[in-house]
Amino acid sequence: MSGKRKLEAFGFGGVEDHRAKKKVLQSASAEISCSSIEDENSHLTNPSDITSLLDFSGLTTPEDISSRFEAVAQELLCNSTLAVVRNGTRTDLEILELEFYLQKAGCHEDPFTHGSVEQERTGQWYFHRSPRRADTSQPGLPVTAAGSYRSGSRKGLDLTFGGPAAINVLRLSGASSIDDLVSRVWDYDIAALSPPTLERNTFMYLRRVNRSTSSSALPTVYRSPRIGLDLSNSETTNSITHPRVVFVVICGPSLLVDEVLRLSGASSIDDLVSRVWDQDIAALLPPRLERNTFMYLRRVNRNTSSSALPTVYRSPRIGLDLSNSETTDSITHPRVVFVGKLYRYFTRPELLVSKGRMQTFVGLYTTLRHSNGHTEDSLKLKRELCKIMGLKEQNVSKYLADYRSGYQDGELKSFVGPSGKGVCQSVSEYLKMMGTLHKALQ
């Protein structure tokens, strides 16, 4: 099996402490390439880099959290792939788009975040479930009990994050919990700087290693066109810009899950998690027990030259509005505060045309205005938006007109509660809402 595709929409999410801190990162675009593998471990790098980035426990200000979002997005969009392994073939999915969702009591209480108890452990895959009523009987942020896996077009995939990823130590040690690790496996011997004093089969300690830094000790890496690809599809044209001449983009979190199921040979999410993965949903390492099929985040070594890395852009997240019945038109209401946050990170905006184009426009417009100092009617601003998004000037002019209409004349209450339903289904109404929102929050 060989090939390469672009996937749009795969996500991440999680909680550090379900009473105090909840976090979700969602992404929406990836490229797939397949290759045969002999030893999957040989393709792994030390996961400590991404593991430390996913630990938000020490962050206490919105500024620190925003900076960490950017660092994680850079790592995943530029240096990582979603690797699906089945029967000796690895398929790499290059991430093109992702979104963050975070709840952390006292400093970042994003009401759009899922609050499932299942998302408490860092570094695990979480397939979206139907929510149940939140538990509001306890102090702190509400936590929802997860129902069955979502189906149809509501499917989605998250990566949990928040606290230290102790789960990796548990998996490598064959322990079912921290208590099992310390009491049964380690027999309460928690020394870290030397092997155990009593004979044990399983233990962990810090060990110094001497690695060769000579470039001659590293293998030469070669490149070639991918195997098995052609242009025989009936919809392909002879244009050099046709997607099949370059790659294929699969858009949307639900279609991503469908692709993961197909690559894994599973009939459903439940079949994948329970039968194929044997309930092992760890995302940062290969499985603890030998399995033919699994999925993990794989770090790729790309040219460190800034010119070789894709530009990472930001925008508001897709599908969010103010239609919740509890939302008010107060500028301090959490949904008003967070609905327009630039927590969607993406590369190659000209490819992301199936979903999120209006969010992309808002993000690029905001960034270009602030970073480059363009005036709102600047011809240069319009041309940059056309170039980055691959739009015609008349489309950009229409987007700008709708945004300015909301900014100049819009009233926030007209987008709140029942009045706000369906806003995300209309480009014009969404842009008017964002213009109104930006004016209100100034």
pLDDT, one tens digit per residue, over 324-362 is 999 999 999 999 999 999 999 999 998 888 889 999 999
- Mean pLDDT over 156-163 rounds to 84
Q: Name the band, by pLDDT with cuts 50, 70 and 90, for residue 45.
A: very low
What local confidence, expressed as pLDDT, does residue 340 receive?
97
What local confidence, expressed as pLDDT, does residue 68 receive?
94
Q: Name the band, by pLDDT with cuts 50, 70 and 90, for residue 111.
A: very high
What local confidence, expressed as pLDDT, does residue 86 receive?
93
**Greater pLDDT, 112 or 238:** 112
| Of the candidate ranges 2-6, 255-259, 266-270, 351-355, the one whose mean pLDDT is the lowest | 2-6
CA distance 312 to 12: 18
What local confidence, expressed as pLDDT, does residue 305 receive?
57
Cα dihedral 356, 343, 125, 355, rounded to 10, equals: 0
Within 13 A of 271's CA, how many CA atoms are on the CB side? 11
Q: Which of 313, 344, 430, 312 is nearest to 9 (CA)?
A: 344
Of all helices (H) and strands (E), which one includes residue 434? helix 427-441
Concatenated DSSP letters of 379-419? HHHHHHHHHHHT--HHHHHHHHHHHHHHHHH--GGGGSGGG
- Mean pLDDT over 64-81 rounds to 93
* pLDDT digits 0-9 by tens, 20-41: 333 444 444 444 444 444 344 4
* pLDDT digits 0-9 by tens, 376-434: 778 889 999 999 999 999 999 999 999 999 999 999 999 999 999 999 999 999 999 99
Residue 18 has pLDDT above 50, yes or no: no
What local confidence, expressed as pLDDT, does residue 240 receive?
46
Percent of the chain predicted with pLDDT > 70: 65
What local confidence, expressed as pLDDT, does residue 395 receive?
94
* Matching residue, tokens 């993990």: 296
What local confidence, expressed as pLDDT, does residue 37 receive?
43
Task: Provide the mean pLDDT of the chain.
Answer: 78
What local confidence, expressed as pLDDT, does residue 120 receive?
76
- Mean pLDDT over 117-125 rounds to 82
- Mean pLDDT over 41-57 rounds to 66
CA distance 367 to 361: 10
Residue 19 has pLDDT above 50, yes or no: no
- Mean pLDDT over 293-299 rounds to 91
Note if the pTM is more than 0.85. Answer: no
Which residues on adjacent β-strands are paired with residue 206?
A: none
Q: Which of 132, 97, 104, 106 is nearest to 22 (CA)?
A: 104
Q: Name the band, by pLDDT with cuts 50, 70 and 90, for residue 225.
A: low
- Beta strands 249-250; 293-299: pairing state: unpaired
What local confidence, expressed as pLDDT, does residue 384 receive?
93
- Mean pLDDT over 254-270 rounds to 94
What local confidence, expressed as pLDDT, does residue 371 receive?
81
| Of the candidate ranges 61-70, 276-285, 340-349, 366-375, the one whose mean pLDDT is the lowest | 366-375
Residue 2 has pLDDT above 70, yes or no: no
Query: Which two structure tokens, joined as six digits, stand for 86?
Result: 């089945």
CB of 182 closer than 8 Å to CB of 170: no
**Greater pLDDT, 335 or 44:** 335
